[in-house]
């Protein structure tokens, strides 16, 4: 498994990234089918169905407690690490069920990266934050080049190039979050999951991350959870709106192109939430 | 609604006013700390007054003797260094390993709860019981004799519980987001623990190791119980040699009537403290090195 990952990473670094657009811009990189997610006996989300388009930004919005984070954590099988975490239903990645018994979740997570709500760099140097993911995935190429490449892609290189040996904790919150993005893209995933990546950042750092997201979708498919509707409108191509039901379980109200959602939503609930008339 | 029942603290606050009652409690806490520090200071002063004079090169390089002015601690000092070195070699990997398993890998069920209860109980078992266990299992059972390796194994059992408890605290102090960050990058559980969690929790783990070392170096009873000698006239050269350690030497001197031996005992205590400080300073230096690299 590791050797496959290694070859994949080296191939991506030595050649140009393969043109995913050849499958047609409407191709689905992931698809969620009839997904129920549980914590023990508590069903956190109920019967969610939605696609995630390749090289697009898919936003997941909704009120607190509607299961946005749970949903996104199902996509790279981080949910099963939570106490009592399990799912029913199907999640397809490149057409294959990620919960099939032959799928190794560790290998899967190196293909579906994740950025968390609170920046969580390792208490190590900036350089080693990036190198760690490459090392554990068996990367044998030029490490310094790979680190520089990912820092450039995350628009952080110019700010940190003279202090790569400094602790990542010496960076500002926004820089730390871009470092976490750089760390995620270093291992060349196909999909990047972002769980409210700007919720701990100030407005300027938030705009920097949003610019970055728009650039990154050229190469990656991005799923972003956000409680900020302006953010969803600014960065995403498609939006899913989740609500909390009577049983405290989240369900999908509407999924559509972001433009349609924000100008002419099909459901009254969506309109109420987007315009702020939400109780 | 009934008025809440008056509490002692509530009454004192009402009588003195907020500001003065706050001063009162701060004062009580400070005197409690001061009492501990004062006791330690008096102890150190008395030992230093009686012992520093006798602590010379001759004292360090001599074997025990019937005449107090000729007696020295060479055998006991070397015995202590041997036993402590070997004990470290045993208890650090086993203790930290057990902590990693219990904290990071074990499922929460009745069996792990049983193990946890057992460990906390073992931490409170009198040390002489460990000595008898060592006598039965290591000295006779495994036929190691009253050797350095048997002593190190016995002391390892003695300090394992506190090492495990302290190391687990250390691992628990590392935020779960570190494990998630590593695993989201495709790290296995083991890679996340080894490369991220353990280094981040190292300062606290090392504190546990320092405490365990301090406990082990001062133990006398279990080593006497397992048959360590009092007077040894050679420097041990291998783990299977017989030995004595500083606390046993000090103990045997204290028990003698000649006043010269009392002085020797005080000098021995100073030597023991110096060895302990040297061992701890290594751990403190390591802890500082790890702590400098993290903060959250």
> What's the pLDDT score for residue B73?
86
Contact B185/A122, CB-based, under 8 Å?
no
Asked if A261 and A254 count as a contact pair (C-beta separation under 8 A), the reply is yes
Cβ neighbours for A261, distance < 8 A, ≥ 6 positions apart: A239, A241, A254, A270, A274
Residue B36: pLDDT band (50, 70, 90) is: very high
pLDDT in tens, A115-125: 999 999 999 99
- pLDDT tens digits, one per residue of B171-224: 999 999 999 999 999 999 999 999 999 999 988 898 888 889 888 988 888 888
Q: Mind listing the pLDDT tens digit for each residue in B43-70?
A: 989 888 888 888 888 888 888 888 877 8
Q: How far is CA B61 from CA A143, B74, B79, B234, in A?
A: 54, 5, 13, 11
Q: Is the predicted pLDDT of residue B1 greater than 70, yes or no?
A: no
Q: What is the DSSP letter of A125?
A: B
The HSE-up count of residue B153 (CA atoms within 13 Å, CB side) is: 21
Q: Do B184 and A76 touch (CB under 8 A)?
A: yes
Crossing angle of the two packed helices B18-51 and B259-292, in degrees rounded to 10: 130
Beta strand A85-93 with A96-97 is antiparallel
- On chain A, the residues whose CB falls within 8 A of the CB of B202 are none
**Contact (CB<8Å) B180/A110:** no
pLDDT at A112: 95
pTM score:
0.81
How far is residue B72's CA from residue B75's CA, in Å, rounded to a whole number? 8
Tell me what percent of chain B is helix, strand and coil, each rounded to the nearest 5. Answer: 75, 0, 25
Q: pLDDT tens across B125-148, in order?
A: 999 999 999 999 999 999 888 889
Domain boundaries, chain A: 2-274
Q: What's the pLDDT score for residue B262?
A: 86
Match domain A2-274 to its CATH number in 1.10.8.60, 3.30.70.330, 3.40.50.1820, 3.40.50.300: 3.40.50.300
Average pLDDT value over all residues in chain B = 88
Across the A:B interface, residue pairs with CB atoms under 8 Å apart total: 76
pLDDT score for A7: 52
The ipTM is 0.84
Q: Which of A122, A177, A183, A197 to mutate to test the interface with B (most CBs of B within 10 A)?
A: A122
| Average pLDDT estimate for B243-268 | 88
Question: Which comes out higher in pLDDT, residue B3 or A124?
Answer: A124
Strands A28-39 and A85-93: antiparallel
β-strand pairing of A28-39 with A42-53 = antiparallel
**Nearest residue on chain A to B108, judged by CA atoms?**
A83
A78 to chain B, any CB pair closer than 8 A? The answer is yes
What single-letter DSSP state applies at residue A242?
E
Residue B180's H or E segment, with its range, is helix B176-184
Strand ranges of the sheet holding A238-244, from the earlier edge strand across to the other edge: A96-97, A85-93, A28-39, A42-53, A250-257, A238-244, A57-61, A221-225, A191-195, A112-115
Distance of alpha carbon B137 from alpha carbon B222, whole angstroms: 13
Set of chain A residues whose Cβ sits within 8 Å of the Cβ of B170: none
Which chain A residue has its CA at the smallest distance from B195's CA?
A132
Q: How far is B200 from chain A (nearest CA, A)?
A: 7
A-contacting residues in B 188-217 (Cβ below 8 Å): 188, 191, 195-196, 199-200
Low pLDDT (below 50) residues in chain A: 1-2, 12-25, 279
Q: How many helices (H) and strands (E) does chain A have?
A: 11, 10
Residues of B in contact with A130 (CB under 8 A): none
Output Rg (C-alpha) for chain B, integer angstroms.
24
How is residue A16 annotated by DSSP? P
* pLDDT for the residue numbered A1: 44
- B281, containing H or E segment: helix B259-292
């Amino acid at each position: 498994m590791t050797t496959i990952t290694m070859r994949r990473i080296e191939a991506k670094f030595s050649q140009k990234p393969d043109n995913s657009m050849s499958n047609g811009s409407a191709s689905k990189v992931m698809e969620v089918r009839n997904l129920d997610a549980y914590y023990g006996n508590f069903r956190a989300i109920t019967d969610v169905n939605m696609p995630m388009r390749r090289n697009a930004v898919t936003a997941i919005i909704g009120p607190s407690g509607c299961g946005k984070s749970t949903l996104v954590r199902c996509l790279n099988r981080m949910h099963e690490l939570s106490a009592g975490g399990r799912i029913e239903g199907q999640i397809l990645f490149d057409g294959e069920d990620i919960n099939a018994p032959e799928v190794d979740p560790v290998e899967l997570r190196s293909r579906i990266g994740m950025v968390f709500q609170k920046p969580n760099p390792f208490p190590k140097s900036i350089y080693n934050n990036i190198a760690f993911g490459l090392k554990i995935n068996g990367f044998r190429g030029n490490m310094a080049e790979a680190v520089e490449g990912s820092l450039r892609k995350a628009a952080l290189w110019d700010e940190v190039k003279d202090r790569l040996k400094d602790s990542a904790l010496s960076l500002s919150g926004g820089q730390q979050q871009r470092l976490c993005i750089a760390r995620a893209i270093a291992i060349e995933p196909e999909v990047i999951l972002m769980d409210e990546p700007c919720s701990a950042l100030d407005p300027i750092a938030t705009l920097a991350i949003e610019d970055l997201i728009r650039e990154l979708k050229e190469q990656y498919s991005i799923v972003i959870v956000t409680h900020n509707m302006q953010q969803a409108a600014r960065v995403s191509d498609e939006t899913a709106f989740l609500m909390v039901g009577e049983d405290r379980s989240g369900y999908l109200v509407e999924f559509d192109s972001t433009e349609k959602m924000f100008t002419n939503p099909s459901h009254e609930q969506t309109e109420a939430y987007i315009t702020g008339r939400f109780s | 609604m009934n008025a809440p029942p008056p509490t002692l603290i509530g009454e004192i606050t009402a009588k003195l006013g907020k500001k003065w009652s706050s001063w009162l409690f701060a004062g009580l806490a400070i005197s409690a700390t001061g009492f501990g520090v004062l006791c330690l200071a008096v102890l150190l002063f008395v030992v230093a007054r009686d012992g520093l004079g006798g602590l010379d090169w001759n004292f360090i390089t001599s074997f025990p003797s019937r005449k107090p002015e000729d007696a020295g601690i060479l055998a006991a000092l070397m015995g202590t260094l041997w036993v402590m070195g070997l004990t470290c070699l045993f208890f650090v990997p086993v203790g930290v390993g057990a902590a990693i398993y219990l904290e990071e890998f074990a499922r929460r069920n009745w069996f792990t709860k049983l193990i946890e209860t057992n460990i906390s109980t073992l931490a409170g078992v009198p040390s002489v019981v460990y000595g008898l266990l060592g006598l039965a299992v290591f000295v006779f059972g495994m036929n190691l004799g009253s050797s350095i390796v048997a002593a190190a194994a016995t002391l390892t059992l003695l300090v394992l519980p506190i090492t495990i408890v302290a190391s687990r605290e250390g691992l628990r102090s590392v935020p779960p987001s570190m494990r998630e960050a590593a695993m989201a990058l495709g790290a296995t559980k083991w890679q996340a623990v080894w490369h991220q969690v353990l280094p981040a929790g190292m300062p606290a783990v090392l504190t546990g190791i320092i405490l365990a070392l301090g406990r082990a170096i001062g133990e006398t009873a279990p080593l006497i119980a397992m048959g360590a000698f009092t007077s040894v006239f050679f420097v041990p050269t291998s783990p299977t040699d017989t030995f004595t350690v500083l606390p046993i030497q000090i103990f045997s001197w204290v028990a003698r009537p000649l006043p010269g031996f009392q002085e020797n005992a005080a000098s021995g205590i100073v030597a023991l403290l110096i060895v302990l400080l040297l061992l701890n300073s290594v751990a403190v230096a390591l802890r500082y090195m790890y702590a400098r690299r993290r903060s959250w």
